[in-house]
């Protein structure tokens, strides 16, 4: 390029189009110009088919015009093309460079001296040139000086290219490291952290990050796989710096307000060519989800095993809770069961993690809608509390502070469509809702519900097997007795003469009619009981005044025992409305009153009481009769069972009344049972829910 294309200005340091810096190259260009006495010095490096400006001195043209010059169409490119020193003493007169010079007659005089810059292998890296505005002679010393400048240029360009290559490789390395799913951390030989990739920053989150591994806080919140706290000297990267090679080293990070995180670490030292340790590097993989999945599988298997080995839910409860607490790392767990009448939920089992102690007493029972378990039962769906110490929680802040409980989860346990219990678990740290954990706990609650259903079926099967022969024997006796009487008296009628028929016939027919009615009653009750058990009986629930039903039944009973030495007292409210089937419940009340009167001796006293207790209506019928022993109370509801005292005293009856009454009450979602009674006699208590289910 002729001198007219060059413009003098102060050197600038940077090339905007390339990463290589040019400060030293500007000094080299100035040295070239001064050593040969030229007005301008330039240094370019070769990049493909282009020459890129590297450094200059005494420039007339803007650097942007010199920043990128084609090799094939420039005076500077002539040095590259010829591959040796180019000496031009008069640009205007020299005809050998015509194709490289601007065409036309406006050529200006000048001189050019160019030398290729080569690396150690002889490959051309660039060119260094001296340009003068006037034609001049280039001496041997000038050429030698330019050659020495080319050697310096070799060092500069090689160094810059090396730096550029190192920077390029570093950028590639950073991009690769930042694209990894594993967190990567490296330290130098002094334990100072010098590299942290993007994934490692994500894993650290807002946690404190150590600058040096010898800081004691470098192990803050770290435990090994067994939960033992780690000292800073046990940090994986520091162990690698000491020469260890770690594979699959497990570490758990515990932070406040955040669930524990599990990591697997591979670490090794970085060894230099001289065998000395330059530093260490570690790759950290977050295996929290995998660990959670493993714990979830272990928990579910442990729960299934605990349920499989238990005879009933009361025995299975502690084992189930222990499996949940131990495998999931929770602090405390409770199992609540709805009482038979649905009035409250009672504590069936609880389990706390070893080492966790609390002065808080778990109540024996909770009313509907009270406490975490009561609210979950009321809502009929899972309840998650991030921190039970917060004012909006279902447990007071004082309770949470004393117990050190934070996150809480309550899951209703269902039998069919109806919740019969609540499973609650508590953690020692605040945690947000977790869909996976919620799904697991819902699955465990379903296992408990299936267990109860299965045990109920098995109990029914055992009861059927145990009572089959007894049932057949009893029903055979109860049917055979009236049939025998009917057959005998029918035979007497058949053999009687006219006079006997006239005098004794009516009495014989009365006996036959009484036994026929007895048979009809037994068969009717058996059919009713069968229909209720099978679910075929029609039970229509509608708003019903149970107080009126009881008063009517008492009135009928008093009328039936009028003149007999038995008193019937009643204590009922003016009105007690609940959902019920009037016909069926009248049958229940009549059965209870009939039994009380039947088994009461002369001078006996029958008491009927109706009241509300929480969410249920409670009907109690007491008598001062022969009573029922505690071991026979439940058998009274098994069908055709009569107490030994009733059989010994030959008190008539089929034993179906209480069985039929329980079937009716159960269809109303209630309970009926014989309870403790002061003095001689029996008390039967019926509980019916006040609201529809």
Query: Helix/strand/coil (H, E, C) string of 277-291?
Result: EEEEEEEEEECHHHH
Is the distance from CB of 3 to CB of 40 less than 8 angstroms? yes
Q: Where along the chain do its domains lie?
A: 3-164, 183-286, 294-537, 542-689
Out of 98-112, 478-492, 512-526, 617-631, the most confident range is 617-631
More confident residue, 353 or 5: 353
Kindly compute the dihedral angle of the four CA atoms of residues 117, 119, 125, 129, in this order, to the nearest 10 degrees: -10
Is the distance from CB of 142 to CB of 36 less than 8 angstroms? yes
Across 48-98, where does the E strand assignment appear? 50-57, 68-70, 86-88
Is the distance from CB of 72 to CB of 48 less than 8 angstroms? no
**SS3 label, residue 672:** strand
Is the distance from CB of 686 to CB of 674 less than 8 angstroms? no
Model confidence at 130, in pLDDT bands (50, 70, 90)? very high
pLDDT over 90 at 633, yes or no: no
pLDDT over 70 at 9, yes or no: no
pLDDT at 572: 92
pLDDT over 90 at 308, yes or no: no
More confident residue, 424 or 437: 424
Ranges 261-275, 329-343, 355-369, 546-560: which has the least confidence: 355-369
Instruction: Quote the mean pLDDT of the chain.
Output: 77
pLDDT at 79: 92
Which option is the CATH number for 183-286: 3.30.2320.50, 3.30.450.20, 3.40.50.1820, 3.40.50.300? 3.30.450.20
| CB-based burial label for 266 (10 Å; 0-12, 13-18, 19+) | middle
Model confidence at 402, in pLDDT bands (50, 70, 90)? very low
pLDDT at 397: 36
Mean pLDDT value of segment 40-55: 89
3-state helix, strand, coil split of the chain in percent (to 5) is 45, 25, 30
User: 97 — phi, psi (to 5°)?
Assistant: -110, 25
- Do 183-286 and 294-537 fold alike per CATH? yes
CA distance 19 to 320: 66
Mean pLDDT value of segment 423-449: 80
350: its two tokens: 């609880």
Mean pLDDT value of segment 136-148: 92
CA distance 529 to 523: 10
Which residues are CB-neighbours of 113 under 8 A, at least 6 positions away? 36, 38, 85, 86, 87, 88, 129, 130, 131, 138, 142, 143, 146
Please choose, from the candidates 150, 90, 140, the residue with its C-alpha nearest in 3D space to the C-alpha of residue 114: 150
pLDDT over 80 at 428, yes or no: no
Q: What is the pLDDT of residues 234-286, one digit of tens each?
A: 888 888 998 999 999 988 887 766 677 888 999 999 998 889 999 999 999 98
Mean pLDDT value of segment 606-621: 89
Model confidence at 306, in pLDDT bands (50, 70, 90)? confident
Q: What is the pLDDT of residues 645-681, one digit of tens each?
A: 444 443 444 556 677 777 788 878 888 888 877 778 8
pLDDT at 619: 92
pLDDT over 50 at 11, yes or no: no
Domain range 3-164, CATH class = alpha beta
pLDDT at 401: 44
CA distance 263 to 286: 5
Is the distance from CB of 115 to CB of 146 less than 8 angstroms? yes
Please, where are the H alpha helices in 51-139? 63-66, 75-82
Residues in the chain: 693
pLDDT at 13: 31
Task: State the fold for domain 294-537.
Answer: Beta-Lactamase (3.30.450)
Across 137-182, where does the E strand assignment appear? none
pLDDT at 85: 92
- pTM exceeding the 0.75 threshold for the entire prediction: no
Ranges 115-129, 339-353, 525-539: which has the least confidence: 525-539
pLDDT over 70 at 230, yes or no: yes
pLDDT at 115: 93
Q: What is the pLDDT of residues 576-587, one digit of tens each?
A: 999 988 888 888
Model confidence at 17, in pLDDT bands (50, 70, 90)? very low
Mean pLDDT value of segment 144-156: 88
pLDDT over 60 at 601, yes or no: yes
More confident residue, 3 or 438: 438
Task: State the fold for domain 542-689.
Answer: Heat Shock Protein 90 (3.30.565)
pLDDT at 245: 93
Is the distance from CB of 203 to CB of 183 less than 8 angstroms? yes
Out of 132-141, 441-450, 507-516, 618-627, the most confident range is 132-141
Please choose, from the candidates 477, 431, 520, 483, the residue with its C-alpha nearest in 3D space to the C-alpha of residue 640: 477
Q: DSSP letter for 296, please.
A: H
pLDDT at 177: 81
**SS3 label, residue 116:** strand
pLDDT at 485: 78
pLDDT at 23: 79
Model confidence at 193, in pLDDT bands (50, 70, 90)? confident
Report the percentage of the chain scoring pLDDT > 90.
13
pLDDT at 462: 63
Which residues are CB-neighbours of 119 under 8 A, at least 6 positions away? 125, 154, 158
Q: DSSP letter for 631, please.
A: G
pLDDT at 144: 92
Across 535-615, where does the E strand assignment appear? 542-545, 566-571, 577-580, 604-613
Look at the block and give the residue holding tokens 């039962």. Answer: 377
Element (H, E) at 322: helix 313-328
For the sheet containing 193-196, what is the strand order?
A: 193-196, 183-188, 277-286, 258-271, 246-255, 222-224
Q: What is the pLDDT of residues 452-488, one digit of tens each?
A: 777 766 665 665 555 555 555 556 656 677 777 788 8
Mean pLDDT value of segment 543-566: 88
213: its two tokens: 């591994």
User: 95 — phi, psi (to 5°)?
Assistant: -100, -10
pLDDT over 70 at 521, yes or no: no
pLDDT over 80 at 361, yes or no: no
More confident residue, 256 or 161: 161
Q: What is the pLDDT of residues 54-99, one digit of tens each?
A: 889 998 878 777 788 888 878 888 999 999 999 999 888 877 655 4
CA distance 318 to 61: 90
pLDDT over 80 at 368, yes or no: no
């Amino acid at each position: 390029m002729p001198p007219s294309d060059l413009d003098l200005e102060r050197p600038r340091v940077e090339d905007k189009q390339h990463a290589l810096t040019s400060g030293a190259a500007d000094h080299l260009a100035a040295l070239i110009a001064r050593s040969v006495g030229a007005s301008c010095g330039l240094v370019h490096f070769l990049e493909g088919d282009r020459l890129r400006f590297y450094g200059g001195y005494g420039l007339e043209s803007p650097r942007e015009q010199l920043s990128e010059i084609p090799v094939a169409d420039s005076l500077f490119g002539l040095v590259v093309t010829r591959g040796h020193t180019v000496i031009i003493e008069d640009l205007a007169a020299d005809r050998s460079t015509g194709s490289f010079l601007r065409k036309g007659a406006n050529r200006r005089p000048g001189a050019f001296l160019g030398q290729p810059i080569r690396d150690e292998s002889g490959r051309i890296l660039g060119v260094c040139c001296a340009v003068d505005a006037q034609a001049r002679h280039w001496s041997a010393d000038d050429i030698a000086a330019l050659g020495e400048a080319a050697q310096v240029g070799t060092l500069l360009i090689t160094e810059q290219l090396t730096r550029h290559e190192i920077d390029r490789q570093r950028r590639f390395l950073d991009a690769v490291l930042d694209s990894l799913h594993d967190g990567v951390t490296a330290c130098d030989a002094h334990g100072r952290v010098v590299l942290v990739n993007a994934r490692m920053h994500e894993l650290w989150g807002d946690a404190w990050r150590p600058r040096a591994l010898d800081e004691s806080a470098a192990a803050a919140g770290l435990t090994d796989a067994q939960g033992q706290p780690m000292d800073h000297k046990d940090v994986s990267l520091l162990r690698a710096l000491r020469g260890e090679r770690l594979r699959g080293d497990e570490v758990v990070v515990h932070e406040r307000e955040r669930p524990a995180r599990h990591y697997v670490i591979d670490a090794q030292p970085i060894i230099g060519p001289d065998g000395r340790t330059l530093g260490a590097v570690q790759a950290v993989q977050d295996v929290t989800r995998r660990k959670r999945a493993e714990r979830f599988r272990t928990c579910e298997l442990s729960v299934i095993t605990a349920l499989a080995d238990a005879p009933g839910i009361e025995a299975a409860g502690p084992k189930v809770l222990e499996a949940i607490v131990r495998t999931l790392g929770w602090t405390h767990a409770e199992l609540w069961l709805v009482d038979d009448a649905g009035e409250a939920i009672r504590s069936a089992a609880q389990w706390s993690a070893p080492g966790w102690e609390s002065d808080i007493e778990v109540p024996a029972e909770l009313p509907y809608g009270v406490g975490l378990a009561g609210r979950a039962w009321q809502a009929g769906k899972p309840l998650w509390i991030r921190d039970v110490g917060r004012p909006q929680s279902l447990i007071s802040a004082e309770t949470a502070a004393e117990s050190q409980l934070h996150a809480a989860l309550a899951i209703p346990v269902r039998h069919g469509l109806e919740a019969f219990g609540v499973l609650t678990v508590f953690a020692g740290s605040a945690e947000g809702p977790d869909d996976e954990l919620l799904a697991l706990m819902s699955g465990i609650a379903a296992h408990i519900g299936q267990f109860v259903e299965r045990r109920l079926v098995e109990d029914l099967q055992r009861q059927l097997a145990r009572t089959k022969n007894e049932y057949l024997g009893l029903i055979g006796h109860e049917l055979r007795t009236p049939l025998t009487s009917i057959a005998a008296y029918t035979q007497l009628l058949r053999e009687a003469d006219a006079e006997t028929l006239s005098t004794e016939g009516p009495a014989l027919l009365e006996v036959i009619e009484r036994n026929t009615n007895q048979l009809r009653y037994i068969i009717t009750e058996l059919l009713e009981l069968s229909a209720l058990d099978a679910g075929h009986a029609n039970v229509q629930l509608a708003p019903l005044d149970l107080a009126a039903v009881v008063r009517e039944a008492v009135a009928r009973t008093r009328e039936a025992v009028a003149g007999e030495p038995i008193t019937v007292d009643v204590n009922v409210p003016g009105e007690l409305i609940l959902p019920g089937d009037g016909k069926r419940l009248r049958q229940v009340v009549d059965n209870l009153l009939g039994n009380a009167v039947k088994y009461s001796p002369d001078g006996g006293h029958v008491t009927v009481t109706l009241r509300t207790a929480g969410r249920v209506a409670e009907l109690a019928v007491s008598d001062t009769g022969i009573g029922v022993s505690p071991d026979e109370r439940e058998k009274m509801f098994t069908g055709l069972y009569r107490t030994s005292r009733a059989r010994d005293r030959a008190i008539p009856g089929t034993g179906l009344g209480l069985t039929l009454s329980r079937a009716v009450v159960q269809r109303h979602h209630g309970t009926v049972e014989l309870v403790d009674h002061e003095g001689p006699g029996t008390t039967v208590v019926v509980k019916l829910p006040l609201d529809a289910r």
